[in-house]
Amino acid sequence: MNFLTVMKRELKSYFTSLIAYVIIAIFLVIAGYFFYTNLVMFVMFVGTDVKLGLWQHTFYDMRFVTLSLLPLLTMRLFAEEKKLGTIELLYTSPIRDMEIIMGKYLACLVVYVLMLLLTLLYPVLLEVVFSVEMGPVIAGYTGLFLLGAACIACGIFLSSLTENQIVAAISTIGVLLFMWLIDWNEGIAGERSVIILHQLSLSEHFFNFIKGVIDIDDIVYYLSFIFLFLYLTRCSLESRKWRGEK
Amino acid sequence: MPAIDVQNLTKFYGPARGIIDISFSVEQGEIMGFLGPNGSGKTTTMRMLTCFFPPTSGTARICGYDIHEDPIEVRRRIGYLPESVPLYRDMPVFSYLHFFAEVKGISRSKRKVKVDEAMERCGLTDVSHRLIGKLSKGFRQRVGIAQALLNDPEILILDEPTVGLDPKQIIDIRSLIKELGKTQTVILSTHILPEVSMTCDRVIIIHEGRLVAVDTPANLMKRLQQTPQVVIRAEGPQGEMQRALEKVEGVVSVELRMRHSGADCFQVAMQEDAPAVNGLARAICDGGWRLHEIRPADMSLEEIFIQLVTEEQGVTGA
C-alpha cells in the first residue's frame, strides 16, 4: 500500500503550497461563469429545451478549462522531485517505481475529482427551480472525469522527462491540444485516415459523453490513453538504469 | 558473512567510465571510508549499492541479498544520505521523517517512536516543527542523516556527509558518525584525507574509477611514507642483473616483478637520501646488458594523497 503514502504526501503538498486552492478556485470561477451565461442564454433564446443543450454547452466549455489547467497541476509531480533530488531517496527506498507513479497519479486525480464535485452545485441549484434530467449530467461528468484522467496521465509522463516544471507544463499543453485538434482538418484526409484520426482524437470521444451517450468505445479509448502514458512514465523512470548520463 | 560484499562491480554511462572492476567487502560494524578525488566514482558505487541503478557488470550482496535479485530487500536494510541531501523544503522536519518512515514500511504503531528516536540521535528534537527550508545547512544535513536512520538500517551509506558545513558542524557530524558506527555498519565517502583517519576503521581509495587500495588508515600512512621506488626494465641474465643492482649505493632491496617482451622488470626500493638513479643505469650498462626503461614506480597512491591533502583547507583543526 505504499502508493497511498506517496499519494497522501502529494496531496498535502498540493494543499500546503496553495497550488490546489488556486487551480480549484480558477476552475470554479470559469466553470461557474460558463454555467451562468449558458443558462441565461438558454432561458432567453431557446426556451424550455434546457435539458440537453444547456449541459452540452456547459460541459463543452468546461473541458477547455480542464485541458488548460490540469497541466499546471501535473507539471511538478516528477520535475520538482528531480530538481530537488528527492527522487533519489524514493528510488533507494523499499518502494517500487509503479507505486511512486500511482501515488502521484491518484493524488492529482483526487484534486481533479474534488474540482468536479464542487461544480455539482450547479445542477443541484438548478434542480431547486427546474427539474433536471440526470442522464446527460451523469454522462457529461463521466466524460469530463475520463478526459481529466487522460490529461493527468499525459502530464505525469511529460513531467517525468524533465526537471523543469515550465517545460513539463508547456509540453503537456502541446500534446493535449494536438490530440484534441488532430481531426479538425478532416476535409483533407482520405476516408480511411479520417476514421483513424477520429479514433485518435481526444475530442471526438468526448463529444459522445456530452451528447449524453456513455459508449464502451469511448471508455476504452480513454483507459488505453491513460495506460499508455502511465506505462511510458514507468519506462521513463526506468531509463535511469541504462541511460548514459549521471 | 560480510555485511557488504562487492564483486567486480563495473559501471559505464554509455561510453563514459563510471567505475571499473571494483571488489571489496565490509564487515559488520565497520566504518568504511571511500576516499577519492571528485569524479572518481564514489557516488556511482554508492548508487549501485543502494539499488538506484544496476551495474553494467559484476554484483554486490548486501546482508546476503543480491542487488540484482532482491533490490527491495536490499533497500529495506540500508539508510542512504545522497550527496545533495535532498529534502522536501515545504515540509516540517517531523512530517518529512514521518513520510519516509511510512515509505520504509515502518508500522503505524512504531512510526512515532522511530521518528522521535532518530530526531533525538541527530539533535533535531528542538526544531521538529520548523520548515526544513528555513533550517541552516548543518541542521538540514542532520535531517538527511535522521532520514537514513529511521528504519534502524544494518548499513548506513553516507555520501559526503560533511561537505559544505562549517568547521564546528563538521566536528558535530563526525562525532555523530562515530557514535552511529558503534551499532551500525557505515560507508561514508569523502575527498578529505584527515576525515578518514579520524572516523574510519578502513579506507578504500578510488581513483578514476579504479580501486587503488583498501587498508586501515594507519597502514596507508605507512605505505605513504615508504622509501622511494624505482622500476627498471632491462634485458640480460636475470640473476646477474639483480645482483648487480643490489650492489648499487643506496639500494635497499630489489624485487623481480615480471618478464615482459623479453626484458625483466625489477622494482628497486631506494633509501630516502639515496643519490640519483644514475648508479642503477650504470650497473646495467656496465654489465653489457640492454636497458629498456627506468622510471619512478607507480605513484598513483601518493599522487592521490597529495591531491587529497591539498584539498583539505580550513578544517585541519577538526
C-alpha cell at B138: 548543518
Please indicate if any CB of chain A lies within 8 Å of the CB of B243: no
| Residue B86 to residue A87, Cβ atoms within 8 A | yes
Measure the CA–CA gap between B71 and B60, rounded to whole angstroms: 11
Residues of B in contact with A94 (CB under 8 A): 72-73, 75-76, 103-105
Cell numbers linked to B266 = 625489477
Task: Give the per-residue pLDDT at B190.
Answer: 84
Please give, rounded to a whole number of angstroms, the shortest distance from the CA of B17 to a CA of chain A: 10
The pTM for the full model equals 0.82
Enter the ipTM. 0.85
Nearest CA in chain B to A238: B53
CA A39 to chain CA centroid, Å, is 25
User: Cell numbers of A124, please?
Assistant: 443541484
Predicted confidence at residue B313, as pLDDT, reads 46
Spatial contact of B264 and B238, defined as CB atoms under 8 Å apart: yes
Q: Are residues B170 and B137 in contact, defined by beta-carbon separation less than 8 angstroms?
A: no
| Residue A233 scores a pLDDT above 80 | yes
Residue-level pLDDT at B40:
84
* B88 part of contact set with chain A, CB < 8 Å: yes
Instruction: Tell me the backbone φ, ψ of residue B268, rounded to 5 degrees.
Output: -110, 125
With CA atoms as reference, report the closest residue to B200 among B11, B34, B38, B65. B34
Q: What's the pLDDT at B317? A: 40
The share of chain A scoring above pLDDT 90, in percent, equals: 60
Contact state of B100 with A89 under an 8 Å Cβ cutoff: yes
pLDDT computed for residue A235 by the predictor: 94
pLDDT higher for A156 or B203?
A156
Q: Cβ of B236 under 8 Å from any chain A Cβ? A: no
List the single best residue of A88, A241, A243 to mutate versus B (max B Cβ within 10 A): A88
CA distance B311 to A33: 64
C-alpha cell at A193: 485516415
Quickly tell me which residue has 626500493 as its cell: B269
The reported pLDDT for the residue numbered B310 is 56
Q: Is the distance from CB of A114 to CB of A69 less than 8 angstroms?
A: no
Please judge whether A94 and B15 are an interchain contact, meaning their C-beta atoms are less than 8 angstroms apart.
no
Residue B300, pLDDT score: 53
- How close does chain A come to B173, measured CA to CA in Å? 20
Contacts of B86 in chain A (CB under 8 A): 84-89
Nearest CB to B53 within list A2, A86, A240: A240
Please, which pLDDT band fits residue A169 given cuts at 50, 70 and 90? very high
Tell if the CB–CB gap between A5 and B51 is shorter than 8 Å: no
Grid coordinates belonging to B178: 562515530
Task: Measure the CA dihedral B245/B248/B252/B258, to 10°.
Answer: -10
Cell 548486501 belongs to which residue? B62
Count CB-CB contacts under 10 A for residue A129.
7
* Strand B155-159 with B78-81, pairing: parallel
Contact assignment for A244 to B14 by CB distance below 8 Å:
yes
Which of B14, B53, B104 has its CB closest to that of A94? B104
Each residue of A200-210: pLDDT tens digit?
888 889 988 98
User: Quick check: B191 and B311 in contact, CB under 8 A?
Assistant: yes
pLDDT value at residue B307: 59
How far is CA A119 from each of CA A40, A131, A209, A211, rounded to the nearest angstrom?
17, 18, 17, 19
Q: Do B88 and A13 touch (CB under 8 A)?
A: yes
For residue B164, give every residue at least 6 positions away whose Cβ sits within 8 Å of its Cβ, in sequence order, or none. Answer: B137
- Residues with pLDDT less than 70, chain B: 223-227, 260-261, 272-276, 298-318
**Hey, where are the domains in chain A?**
2-238
Q: Which cell numbers hold the place of B251?
A: 639500494
3-state SS track over chain B:
CCCEEEEEEEEEECCEEEEEEEEEEECCCCEEEEECCCCCCHHHHHHHHCCCCCCCEEEEEECCEECCCCHHHHHHCEEEECCCCCCCCCCEHHHHHHHHHHHCCCCHHHHHHHHHHHHHHCCCHHHCCCEHHHCCHHHHHHHHHHHHHCCCCCEEEEECCCCCCCHHHHHHHHHHHHHHHCCCEEEEEECCHHHHHHHCCEEEEEECCEEEEEECHHHHHHHHCCCCEEEEEEECCHHHHHHHHHHCCCEEEEEEEEEECCEEEEEEEECCCCCCCHHHHHHHHHCCCEEEEEEECCCHHHHHHHHHHHHCCCCCCC
B39 has a chain A CB within 8 A of its CB: no
Choose among B13, B44, B51: nearest Cβ to A244.
Answer: B13
Q: How far apart are the CA of B147 and the nearest CA of chain A, in angstroms?
A: 9
Q: Which residue has the cell 530538481?
A: A83
Asked if the Cβ–Cβ distance from A92 to B80 is below 8 Å, we say: yes
Position A234 confidence tier, pLDDT thresholds 50, 70, 90? very high
What are the residues whose beta carbons fall under 8 Å from the beta carbon of B57, sequence distance 6 or more?
A: B8, B9, B10
